[in-house]
Structure formats: structure tokens, C-alpha cells
Amino acid sequence: MGTNDRKKIRNDIILAVVLLAVAAAAMLFWHFGKVEGDFAVVLIDGVETARYALDTDTEVVIHTDNAGENTLVIAGGKAYVGAANCPDLVCAGHRAISRVGETIVCLPHKLVIKITAASDAGGVDMAA
């Protein structure tokens, strides 16, 4: 066996490792990155106050402490804050969310909008 053969085998091993890594990354992405949620859960000061199905377009004004108002919009299976009267408007500037575990946070209003799966419905959220 010459040097070239050994080099070729090493390259094949490197290629196999790279392919495995790519496949593993794709699988991780499939499991954790692409899970579409079923509900947008509204938490005020850490307490769930409402949940809305993502498959039903709606628009609702959430009232928080200190006259806070955030308009939650659900459209096309995604949830976002359409308008708010908080000082920083970080929540209103957040992109629409639809995947399990994604959140929109309004710190001034202690408001969290979180995407969950139907299997979480009514259960205790161990991840929180």
C-alpha cells in the first residue's frame, strides 16, 4: 500500500465524518428548530392569563399592570405584537413567532408571549 492510498483512505474518513456531522446537525434542526407550535400563551408576571390557538387569526389587546397595553396579533399561524404602549417597543419590533419555545418579551409590562405545543395544554410547564 503506497502513501497515496493511505492519504485517500484518510480523506474518505474525513469526508464520512463531515457527512455524519451534517446529518446530525440536520436531525437536531429537524427536532428542535422546526417544531411549529399550536398555541400562543400569554404570561403576565409569570402567570398564564390566556392562550390563543395559532390556527385561528385573531387580534386581542392584552392589559397589563400600570395601564400597559399590548396588541397580540395571530395571523397565518404566527403570533406577534402589533402595537404596544411600553416605552421601549422591543416587543412590537420583534419578528413573528410560531415555533415551540419561541417568545416575545415585553420587559416594561412583565409580559411574555410564548409558543407551546398542544401537548403542553393545561399541563405544568417543567421547562419554565
- 60 in Cβ contact with 52 (< 8 Å): yes
| Between 2 and 87, CB nearer to Zn ion | 87
Candidate residues 43, 62, 106, 115; the one interacting with Zn ion per rule CB under 5 A: 106
- 23 in Cβ contact with 16 (< 8 Å): no
Q: CA 41 → CA 28, 48, 72, 77, distances in Å?
A: 25, 7, 11, 14
Q: DSSP class of residue 96?
A: P
Binding positions for Zn ion, 69-88, rule CB under 5 A: 84, 86
| Between 74 and 86, CB nearer to Zn ion | 86
**Parallel, antiparallel or unpaired: strands 58-64 and 68-75:** antiparallel
Choose the stretch contacting Zn ion; rule: CB under 5 A; options: 22-30, 33-41, 98-106, 117-125: 98-106
Choose the stretch contacting Zn ion; rule: CB under 5 A; options: 20-28, 46-54, 56-64, 100-108: 100-108
| Least gap, CB of 68 to Zn ion (angstroms) | 8
Query: Can you give the binding site for Zn ion, defined by CB under 5 A?
Result: 84, 86, 91, 106
